């Protein structure tokens, strides 16, 4: 399982030390703000696709997007 933990910049060094000291943590590495933003956007897109597949959300077609241009 992957988990994203948000740590204030002034506590990042200590937080990384704590995470790396735990035996069950396989990998702990910092993520840039740009990468974190992209991750959030992709996660939201995945939720929207899941809701669309369940019939709970209607998404625009590619033609609708082109028509907006």
What tens digit of pLDDT does each residue of 17-66 get? 999 999 999 999 999 889 989 999 999 999 999 999 999 999 889 999 89
DSSP-assigned letters across all residues of 20-53: HHSTT--------HHHHHHHHHHHHHHHHHHHHH
- Name the band, by pLDDT with cuts 50, 70 and 90, for residue 3: confident
For residue 4, the model assigns a pLDDT of 86
Can you tell me the distance from the alpha carbon of 67 to that of 69, in angstroms, rounded to the nearest whole number?
A: 5
For residue 1, the model assigns a pLDDT of 87
Q: What is the pTM of this model?
A: 0.62
């Amino acid at each position: 399982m992957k988990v994203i933990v948000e740590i204030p910049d002034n506590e990042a060094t200590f937080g990384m030390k704590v995470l790396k000291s735990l035996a069950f943590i396989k990998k702990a590495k910092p993520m840039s703000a740009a990468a974190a933003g992209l991750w959030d956007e992709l996660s939201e897109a995945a939720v929207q696709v899941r809701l669309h597949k369940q019939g709970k959300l209607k998404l625009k077609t590619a033609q609708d997007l082109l028509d907006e241009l």
